[in-house]
Amino acid sequence: MQTKITKLAEFLFFQGPRIAQSKIDQHFQKKTILITGASFGIGEACAKRLAHTECTLVLVARSTDKLLQLKNELELNQCQVKIITTDLYQLDAAENIFQHLQVQDIQVDILIHNAGKSIQRSIWKSLNRAQDIDRSVAINFINPAHLTRLLLPELKQQSGQILVVSTINAKLFAPPLWSSYQASKVAMQQWILAIQPELAIHQVDTCLVYLPLVRTRMILPTKHYDHMPAMQVQSAANAILDSLMGHKRQWQPWWLILAQIVSGLLSTPIYYFYCYMLGRKK
Ligand SMILES: NC(=O)c1ccc[n+]([C@@H]2O[C@H](COP(=O)([O-])OP(=O)(O)OC[C@H]3O[C@@H](n4cnc5c(N)ncnc54)[C@H](OP(=O)(O)O)[C@@H]3O)[C@@H](O)[C@H]2O)c1
């Protein structure tokens, strides 16, 4: 049960922008939008929001049944849906998606890198788990970077857009227990920031969306998140679509700048606080 305080905090700190359907139509009509991680959570919410526009959605994820169900549901509206089943933990996933697009003669105008993997695990419990690092880097950095690279020539032709769904933690003091997630999200952030001007001069937009906690199945394994304020999935989708419509270079909650200042100024106390908290659980 959400308390009144949690609801108030969500109202003050976890709102996304409001957007009218007419504005969505204006920007996305006749466009082809590829969304990774579109079967659940934020990606699914983006697809549902775009379904009322005459556009083509290319939905990428592992769960074929869910993608097919979503295709049937979304095509009752204005959009056309193509699905690509792939596992982004595999290092050749970007190449497979690209082949698929070529075979079906699909030209992407807007690329939304949304699929992601988060793991909360101590490094001491990860000593025999090479896959934690490998999978995080594959899905959060290697495949999005390769897919971007492969699609860039056509995105350049179409003055396309690339959007990366990131996390507010990528701008804050690195939290312990989240090493693989944190490192792979920061890697993608830095990669995009580095190519941003190179792409801008060729009229290709890039945008990083730094989301706070969002209530999706991703946060379910972390029990203490149940009682914390979080963004609704529709608000996160609105933040993504609004950023694309506004050709923004980044979107973040209004208070993140304050959190960054605190994180920078108080890095030493934060470090000792983490040591204290982890020491108590040792
Ligand atoms: N939820 C949060 O609090 C939060 C906060 C900040 C940022 N984010 C970011 O938001 C993005 C979306 O997360 P979410 O909260 O919507 O999570 P979610 O509900 O768990 O959805 C994740 C999506 O990614 C797909 N996916 C996962 N592993 C995959 C793989 N190996 N290959 C292909 N697709 C895969 C999933 O589909 P299948 O399982 O069908 O493959 C699903 O469609 C992520 O990049 C995440 O880092 C989330």
pLDDT at 1: 53
Residue 222 has a pLDDT of 83
Sign of the torsion formed by the C-alpha atoms of 216, 145, 109 and 39? negative
Positions in the chain whose pLDDT score sits under 50:
none
- Greatest Cα-to-Cα distance within the chain, rounded to the nearest angstrom: 57
Residue listed under structure tokens 């308390």 = 3
Q: Residue 2's pLDDT is what?
A: 66
- Give CA 271 to chain center in angstroms: 27
pLDDT at residue 281, as a whole number:
76
State the average pLDDT for the chain: 96
Of residues 180, 182, 177, 185, the one with CA closest to residue 275: 177
User: Which residues, including other chains, have CB under 8 Å from residue 262's CB and lie 6 or more apart?
Assistant: none
Q: How far apart are the two ends of the chain, measured CA to CA in Å?
A: 31
Q: Using CA atoms, how far apart are residues 43 and 37, in angstroms rounded to an integer? A: 6
> 181 an active-site residue?
yes
pLDDT digits (tens, 9 = 90+) for 17-33: 999 999 999 999 999 99
Between CA 183 and CA 178 the distance in angstroms is: 8
**pLDDT tens digits for range 64-100:** 999 999 999 999 999 999 999 999 999 999 999 999 9
Determine which one of 89, 181, 210, 271 is catalytic: 181
| CA of 178 relative to ligand 1 center, distance in Å | 16
**Any residues with CB less than 8 A from the CB of 3 and at least 6 apart, and which?**
227
Position in ligand 1 atom list of the atom nearest CA 231: 3
Q: How many domains is the chain partitioned into structurally?
A: 1
Q: Please report the DSSP string for 263-279 in residue order.
A: HHHTHHHHHHHHHHHHH
Question: For ligand 1, which residues put their CB under 6 angstroms from it?
Answer: 37-43, 61-63, 66, 87-89, 114-118, 139, 165, 167, 211, 213-214, 216-219
Residue 175: phi and psi, rounded to 5, are -80, 135
Q: Which domain holds residue 245?
A: 4-281
Radius of gyration of the chain (CA): 19
Domain CATH number, residue 139: 3.40.50.720
- CA 100 – CA 34 distance, rounded (Å): 12
What is the three-class DSSP state of 136? Answer: helix
Amino acid at 30: K
**Residue with the two structure tokens 């227990």:** 177
